[in-house]
């Protein structure tokens, strides 16, 4: 018997198995990367639909959101980044809405998260289907959805008219201060070229470069102290069709 040939065959087989395992591990690791985005949400009302800004409706008590990058029925964690409150929701059908916003939320979700309409800064994070977390939260979502269909939109409250209740107004202590990150570059020359392009091809003037490290230079516009000015500049820069533009709170 040729033992050398047998041994060589075994080694080749073993190497093939190892390669296959590495491929499987690589696929598994890739599948664990979930989509997430930070930005401003649009809170749905019927006027948005009437004005053709949003081409689908959301029920007031719904736990559905519209999000362009995710498939229908994807479970997501929606977090109000101002107060860290979050809720589990589900992505609805593909819907058109203004590019400035990262999603459209129902009034219920906005109320649950206590979102300030002047600063609706949120994070949407995909919940992976193969996680144990999603099974538990999917069940909770379905239970909440059943309750939502039985509860009227307007809550009925019984008050004793003889008792004077002093309401405490909630004060938003968060200062509106955001920048729009265009891109990070390894070389300062590349960052300067990007800055020049923005100045030449748009009406935006407040383009800046910050040195994050010896090998990282960030091109950004801002800062902005209110939502309208931020939205105007975002729409202006969007005409250049840059990828991965990000709104960051300072």
19 assigned to some structural domain: no
Q: What is the DSSP letter of 81?
A: T
C-beta of residue 207 within 8 angstroms of C-beta of residue 221? yes
pLDDT at 250: 86
Per-residue pLDDT of the chain (250 residues; tens, 9 = 90+): 555 555 555 545 555 554 443 443 444 444 457 888 899 999 999 999 999 999 999 999 999 999 999 999 999 999 999 999 999 999 999 999 999 999 999 999 999 999 999 999 999 999 987 655 554 555 555 555 554 445 444 443 334 444 444 444 454 566 899 999 999 999 999 999 999 999 999 999 999 999 999 999 999 999 999 999 999 999 999 888 887 788 999 8
Within 10 angstroms of residue 44's Cβ, the number of other Cβ atoms is 27
Q: CA-to-CA distance for 227 and 11, rounded, in angstroms? A: 64
Residues 6+ apart with CB under 8 A from 118: 172, 176, 226, 227
pLDDT at 185: 95
pLDDT at 175: 86
In 160-215, DSSP assigns E strands to: 178-185, 207-213
**Count of domains for the chain:** 2
Residues 58-72 pLDDT 10s:
999 999 999 999 999
Q: Which of 202, 195, 207 is nearest to 236 (CA)?
A: 202
Residues 115 and 43 in one domain: yes
pLDDT at 34: 83
Q: C-alpha angle 91/84/250, rounded to 5°? A: 105
64 assigned to some structural domain: yes
Q: Which CATH number goes with the domain that contains 74?
A: 2.40.40.10
75 assigned to some structural domain: yes
Domain range for 224: 178-249
Helix, strand and coil in the chain, % to nearest 5: 35, 25, 40
Q: CA-to-CA distance for 68 and 91, rounded, in angstroms? A: 9
Q: CA-to-CA distance for 245 and 239, rounded, in angstroms? A: 12
C-beta of residue 151 within 8 angstroms of C-beta of residue 61? yes
Residues 227 and 124 in one domain: no
pTM of the model: 0.69
């Amino acid at each position: 018997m040729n033992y050398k040939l047998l041994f060589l065959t075994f080694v080749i087989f073993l190497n093939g198995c190892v390669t296959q395992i590495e491929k499987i591990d690589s696929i598994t690791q890739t599948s664990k990367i979930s989509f997430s985005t930070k930005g401003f949400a649009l809170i749905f009302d019927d006027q948005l639909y009437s004005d053709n800004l949003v081409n689908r409706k959301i029920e007031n008590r719904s736990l559905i959101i519209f999000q362009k990058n995710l498939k229908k029925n994807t479970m997501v964690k929606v977090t109000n980044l101002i107060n860290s409150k979050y809720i589990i929701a589900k992505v609805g059908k593909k819907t058109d809405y203004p590019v400035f916003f990262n999603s459209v939320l129902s009034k219920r979700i906005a109320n649950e998260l206590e979102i300030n309409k002047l600063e609706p800064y949120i994070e949407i994070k995909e919940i992976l289907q193969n996680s144990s977390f999603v099974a538990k939260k999917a069940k909770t979502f379905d239970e909440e959805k059943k309750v939502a269909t039985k509860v009227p939109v307007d809550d009925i409250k019984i008050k004793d008219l003889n008792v004077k209740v002093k309401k405490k107004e909630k004060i938003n202590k968060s200062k509106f201060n955001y920048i729009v990150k265009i891109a990070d570059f390894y070389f300062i020359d590349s960052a300067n070229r990007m800055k020049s392009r923005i100045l030449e091809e748009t009406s935006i003037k407040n383009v800046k470069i910050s040195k994050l490290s010896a090998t990282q230079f960030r091109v950004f516009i801002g800062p902005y102290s209110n939502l309208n000015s931020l939205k105007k500049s975002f729409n202006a820069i969007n005409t250049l069709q840059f990828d991965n533009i990000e709104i960051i709170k300072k």
